[in-house]
Amino acid sequence: MTSTSTTDIDAIVARLAPEPAPAPGEGARDLMHQIMATSPAPAARRRVTLPRLRTAVSTIALAGVTVVALNSVVPSGTGPAVAQALDIKREAGYHVIKINDLYADPGKYEAQLRAAGLDISLRVVPATAAFEGQVQPTGPDKKYLTDIKGIYPPGPCDRLDGCAIGVKIPVGFQGTADVTVGRKARPGEEYMSITSIDAKGEPLHCVPHVNKTVGEMRALLREREVNIGKFVIEDPGDDRDGETVASVPGSWHVIGGYMYAPGLATVVTSSTAMAPEEAEAAQDKTVKRCDQSSLSPRE
């Protein structure tokens, strides 16, 4: 039985997580959003077909204009009563939109947006830690809308796609748009926006884990209060290749993984170890991302 090749890993990643984010910067960010917008999001279920696992980026793409301020959000049923789901103001030529209620019915968002003259659909979805606060606006062609700007505070950010505190839309914006915003998952919810388990903000960021045994991986995750809930088998020599299962032998080797719910991870495994050069290349990527972790994605 041969070891998992780089090509095999790329195929896995095409199913399990989104494209990797390039180095921080505006050009890199634009490229990342283009990648994220290449696949339509599901209507009402968690996305499970994800491109690229190891350095992934969220892949819930809709079509849209934008909204958000997530540092001052009041969820439904907690804190003081919320009069309106959104706070929409016009400032310096922009519609500035804050979400007061992250758990409101989407119809409430739509009604307020239409009243403000904005042809926008807004969804707020449970997201893994790296993507809490992520804003993903796309147009009808599923391409990222650069006219819609996030509002980012200065300084470092501990999340892969930035720590947006709001969104602004030009008052003269023409057309329609959909926006997806990542929020913290409630107990029992599975994420609709996920990324690699070693991405910035995730449990194994800066922690080498590729090619370790499942037993070693389990110990690493337990130290971080994470359990393995599922395994994906990536092993051409196994009849279950490509299947998701509840358990595999502790001696099997780790190819990658991602969080699918609070405290629960899916780990991609093979019965054979990766070739040394492939494992080293994978770990180099983890180290590179770690070296960049002090930077905000907007810097």
pLDDT in tens, the chain (299 residues): 444 443 344 444 444 443 333 333 344 334 334 333 333 333 333 333 333 333 333 332 222 233 433 433 444 444 454 578 999 999 999 999 988 898 999 999 999 999 988 888 888 999 999 988 888 889 999 898 888 877 777 777 777 766 776 678 889 888 888 888 888 999 899 999 999 999 888 999 989 899 999 999 999 999 999 999 999 999 888 889 899 999 999 999 999 999 999 999 999 999 999 988 888 888 777 777 676 554 444 43
Say if residue 189 is exposed, middle or buried (CB neighbours under 10 Å; 0-12, 13-18, 19+).
Answer: middle
- Distance between alpha carbon 56 and the CA centroid of its chain, in Å? 8
DSSP secondary structure letter of residue 166: E
Name the token pair of 277.
Answer: 């050069």
Residue identified by tokens 């054979």 is 272
* Token pair in block for residue 212: 């370790």
Cα–Cα distance between 55 and 245 in angstroms, integer?
Answer: 23
Q: Where are the alpha helices (DSSP H) in 1-94?
A: 6-16, 26-36
